[in-house]
Structure 1
Amino acid sequence: MDFWDAPRKGGNSFNRLPPDQAYFDALADYGATWVRLSYDKWAPAKRDFLLGDADHYQGLVEADLATLVQVLDRAHRAGLKVVVAPLSLPGMRWSQNNGGAFDDRLWQQRRYWMQAAAFWRDLAKALHAHPAIAAYNLINEPAPEKMAGLPEHADALAMRQWYAVQQGGTRDLPAFYQQLVAAIREVDGGTPVMLDAGWYAAADAFGYWPAPLEDARTLYSVHMYEPYGATSAPNLLRAQPYAYPGGTPFAGRWQRWDARRVRDYLERPLHWADAMGVPRSRLVVGEFGCMRRLPGCVQYLEDVLGVLDEHRLHWAFYSFREDAWDGMDYELGKAKVPWRYWQAMEQGKPDPLPRQATEAFEPILRRLRQ
């Protein structure tokens, strides 16, 4: 846990191919100390990587586990710590591996809680001794609220009222996490766990939690893409994209977003942590970013990172040299990628594009090198 006592800066790895040694070496050379690693895009031996089948978990797939350990070995050789971050759990298959459909079964049926706990018990047993492991991020961007009547970015009172009804049921995210952590602690008493807030790890979604987990080795993570209407891929397709700074739809109404609004929003998990007695060193912004080709992206990154710097929070930018999507790969600058990028993806070949420091990457790079 002492790794997290000082602010840690890193990047996200959501690649379609298991990253090679050069990938991790490059991230470390920039000054990163950790990488948040997802494996769900890698070619699985069965239906779902590592899980075998998210419809019915029966044990880790050994061939997939061997691939994951090899990747962890590479990160360790580069001097990076790793936070393993699944995108799928039993009963919650990641939508991009599920025909684009949101999978809500985990939040409806308790049997999937049991399968998810068994999965994490198995994975912790397999990985706890690996020197690269810095934390287990139990699930990426859970959203038990999505199909249960709570609007995204609802006000704090509405969130608490919603949770009062759901507490003790299958959409009780803190209780779900507690069950997973208890399973992990049966085989691994030391590795920290990292917990994403609900509603896709929204920075305002810890607000309804009545208490932190009792486990002292817990980190609390949010993601920052707000205002999504301005930072996201659909905005690029608009005849007149929403500008940052500027007005954009958010929480059902029109709002102006600028450095002050970013600060106000990002300080919400800080207020929750302070009220709960959670040290700032246990807060993480596990993802943040904006579409690199948007004119306001550099300013947005500066504004977000300014808040994270001020409060000395851990962070990982999204994303580092992603070979499946170029939207937030800041080393590519602001130009469209050439056809050979997409051709390599279609052919299952490594990403062929060179990377370099660019203006779009500068706000992140400057801080990695500090």
Structure 2
Amino acid sequence: MAFWATPQRGANSFNRLPPGQGYFQALSATGASWVRLAYDKWPTGEVDFLIGNADGYRGLAIPDLQTLLATLDRAHQAGLKVVIAPLSLPLMRWSQNNGGRFDDRLWADTQNWRAAAIFWQDLARTLRDHPAVAAYNLVNEPAPERHGGLAEHAPQADGHAWYAARQGTGRDLPAFYTQVVKAIREVDPHTPIMVDAGWYAAADGFSYWPAPLADPNVLYSVHMYEPWKATSDPSMFNRPLHAYPGLAPFAEHQQFWGKARVADYLGSFTRWARRAGVPPQHLVLGEFGCLRRWPGCGAYLDVLDVTEQAGVHWAFYAFREDAWDGMDYELGTRPVPWAYWKAIEAGTPDPLPRPGSPLFEIIQRRLKPAAQ
């Protein structure tokens, strides 16, 4: 946990191709100290990268594992720490790799947790001594509540009642994490473990948890795109845009969103942590961002002010993503040229230069202190 003893600032990498050395060197040059790495878009000879097949896990796919290890080596050479963040687990395939369908199997029955625990034990056994690895983020944006009867952003009292009725079932996220952590600790007693809140890592997603996990080397992570309809919904450009600060829909109501509301909403995370006795150095804003072409994006990035004041670790979404340009702030606010989409179709590297922009400078100013 020594790496996490002071605030760390970084980025997310959700690329369709394994990042090369130049990518990691460029990220390191921004002042970032860590990268949250998702590999599920990378090419594979299997159905699902590294897992082999999420429908029936039978061991790590060795060629994919070699690709991941080589990628970690490149990150280490650039001086970056890496948090491994799978989007899919056995019996829970990421919706974008599942025809847009939410895969609820993992949360339907506690018996379905076993394969996920074995997968993570296998992976931890392999990665436990790699010098780049700073944490295992067990699964990106879990949502056992989605088909379980709890509304998104439900009042806290509703969340407590919901959890009391479902504790010990497949939708018991703390119990799921406990089982996976136990499996990892049998082969790796030291590497920190990062856990996302429920309802897609919502900042209020820990509010119903009665206590933190028992393991002392756990980091707790949330994501911040709220109010999503205003900041991050790709269909927003088909209707009148919401201003920021300004009114926006949230939890089926219109609310005024500005810096104070952002601070209050993210405060649901830090307030839970204080009640639970979790120190700030164990808290992570694992993703945040806004669509770069939204006029309010620059002002919305004041989420960083709130995060810095709270003293928690953070990683912006995303650095030089080669599969989607929506939150690639170095590109500014203009549409990308056809060459970007042509490269995606051809499966070739992203050809675009990244000249920087005022949007990225907002993030850059806060990344640099991590390098000093």
Scaled by the length of structure 1, what TM-score is found?
0.99
Aligned to 2:166: 166
Aligned to 2:332: 333
Distance across 2 between alignment mates of 1:44 and 1:93: 15
Distance across 2 between alignment mates of 1:328 and 1:162: 34
| Structure 1 residue identity aligned to 2:336 | V
Aligned to 1:310: 309
Question: 1:228-267, aligned counterparts within 5 Å?
Answer: 228-267=228-267
Conservation of the 8 A alpha-carbon contact between 1:104 and 1:144: yes
Conservation of the 8 A alpha-carbon contact between 2:19 and 2:71: yes
Aligned to 1:192: 192
| Structure 2 residue identity aligned to 1:180 | V
Aligned to 2:52: 52
Count of aligned pairs between the two proteins? 369
Deviation sequence 1:196-255 (CA, Å, 0-9, x none): 000000000100000001100000000000000111133532331112111111001111
Distance across 2 between alignment mates of 1:166 and 1:45: 38
Please state whether the residue corresponding to 2:76 is helix, strand or coil. Answer: helix
Conservation of the 8 A alpha-carbon contact between 1:195 and 1:219: yes
Root-mean-square deviation (CA, aligned residues, Å) is 0.7
Runs of 4+ in 1 over 6 A off after TM superposition: none
Post-superposition shift, 1:109?
2.5
| Structure 1 residue identity aligned to 2:251 | A
- The percent of aligned pairs where both chains have the same amino acid is 62
Post-superposition shift, 1:91?
1.0
Distance across 2 between alignment mates of 1:308 and 1:2: 20
Question: 1:1-370, aligned counterparts within 5 Å?
Answer: 1-301=1-301, 303-370=302-369
Post-superposition shift, 1:44?
1.5
Unaligned runs of 5+ in 1: none
Unaligned runs of 5+ in 2: none
Post-superposition shift, 1:362?
1.4
Conservation of the 8 A alpha-carbon contact between 2:142 and 2:196: yes
Please state whether the residue corresponding to 1:205 is helix, strand or coil. Answer: coil
Conservation of the 8 A alpha-carbon contact between 2:35 and 2:80: yes
Scaled by the length of structure 2, what TM-score is found?
0.98
Deviation sequence 1:69-104 (CA, Å, 0-9, x none): 000000000000000000000111000000000000
| Structure 2 residue identity aligned to 1:300 | Y
Deviation sequence 1:278-315 (CA, Å, 0-9, x none): 101100000000000111101100x2000111111100
| Structure 1 residue identity aligned to 2:200 | Y
| Structure 1 residue identity aligned to 2:105 | R
